[in-house]
Amino acid sequence: MLKIKKLKVNVGEKDILKWVSLDFEVGKNYLVLWKNGSGKSSLANFLMWNPKYEYKDGEVSIDKKDLLKLGVDERSGSWLFLSFQHIVEIPWINLWEYLRIIYNNYLEKKEIGVAKLSPFIFKRFIKKYLLELDIKESFLERDLNVGFSWGEKRKIEILQARLLDPKYMIFDEVDSGLDLDAFKVVASLIQKLDNENNSIIMITHNFKMIDYIKFDEVYVLKNGFVDKKWGLEIIDEIKKKGFE
C-alpha cells in the first residue's frame, strides 16, 4: 500500500499540500480530481522527489517502507512511476539506449544476480513491446522524445511503464496535447497496463477515461486538502454542477 498521512509540502513560503492523507492499494485504481492549482500535480511530483517541493511534515510509506528515506532511483525501481503532464524532450540521449539502461537497472533491483541484457539481446527483447504498443522500431534510433508527436510521446511513456512493471502508476493529465483519436489510443494502451498487481492513479479532468479503465475510488483534492473520498457517483455530480 502507498500510504500518505498528514503530509505537508511547501514551495518556497507557500503551503501547497496541507495535511493530506491518502491510501492507494494495489489492485485498485483511483481518480484524483479538482480544479487546476489544487495540489494534484504537486502531490505526484513530491512523491517522485522533485526538489522544487519541500517536505515539511507527515509520513509517506510504500509497502511499509519509509518513502521519505528513499532516493529517486529507489522510488522508481519497481514501485512508483510518474507520467508527466508536460513531457520533456532530451536531445543527445538515444531512446533505445535509455530504455536498455532503465530496464537493466530495474532487473538489478528486482532480481539479484540476473544478468543485464546486452544491446543485441535487448533489441530482440523489446520488439514484442513495440508491436504491442504500435511503436515503430525506427523510433528507437531517435533522441528521447525529440520530434515526437504528443501521442507518440505518451506511447513512449507507456512503453517505459510496461518495461518497469511498477506497482503504483501515476498518470498526470495524460490527455494534455492529445486530439480525440490520440486520446482513445493512449487510454486503450493504459488500460492494457491494468492488472491485479498494480494500481493506476489518474490525475485528470477528462472523465472519458472511465470508459477505458475501471476506477474503484475517487479522491477530491481541494486547495491542498483532501476534501473527501468518493465513489464514481461524484463524477455525475461534477458533470451536472461543475467543480464548485
DSSP of 166-183, one letter per residue? -SEEEEESTTTT--HHHH
Q: Per residue in 203-232, pLDDT tens?
A: 987 788 888 999 999 888 776 667 667 777
Region of poorest pLDDT, from 58-62, 84-88, 142-146, 152-156: 84-88
Other Cβ atoms within 10 Å of 151 Cβ, number:
16
Q: Mean pLDDT across the stretch 37-64?
A: 88
139 vs 208, residue with greater confidence: 139
Question: pLDDT grade, residue 75 (50/70/90)?
Answer: confident
Domain map of the chain by residue range? 2-241
Would you give the end-to-end CA distance of the chain in angstroms? Answer: 31
CATH architecture of 2-241: 3-Layer(aba) Sandwich (3.40)
Q: Mean pLDDT across the stretch 100-123?
A: 81
Cα distance between residue 19 and residue 244, in whole Å: 22
Side-chain half-sphere CA neighbours of 163 within 13 A? 27
pLDDT at 47: 92
Region of poorest pLDDT, from 112-126, 172-186, 224-238: 224-238
Cα distance between residue 38 and residue 36, in whole Å: 6
Question: pLDDT grade, residue 96 (50/70/90)?
Answer: very high
**Is residue 31 within 8 Å of 200, Cβ to Cβ?**
no
Side-chain half-sphere CA neighbours of 66 within 13 A? 4
What does DSSP assign to residue 118?
Answer: P
> Nearest 5°: phi and psi at 7?
-80, 130
Question: pLDDT grade, residue 160 (50/70/90)?
Answer: very high
pLDDT at 239: 73
CA distances (Å), origin 10, targets 17, 18, 23, 68: 7, 9, 21, 15
- The rounded percent of the chain whose pLDDT value lies above 90 is 51
pLDDT at 235: 78
The answer for residues whose C-beta is within 8 angstroms of residue 46's C-beta and 6 or more apart is 7, 9, 17, 53, 55
**In this structure, are strands 90-94 and 2-11 parallel, antiparallel, or unpaired?**
unpaired
Q: Mean pLDDT across the stretch 101-110?
A: 81
**Is residue 132 within 8 Å of 152, Cβ to Cβ?**
no
How far does CA 107 lie from the centroid of its chain?
Answer: 20
pLDDT at 95: 95
Q: Mean pLDDT across the stretch 179-196?
A: 92
Q: Mean pLDDT across the stretch 133-147?
A: 93
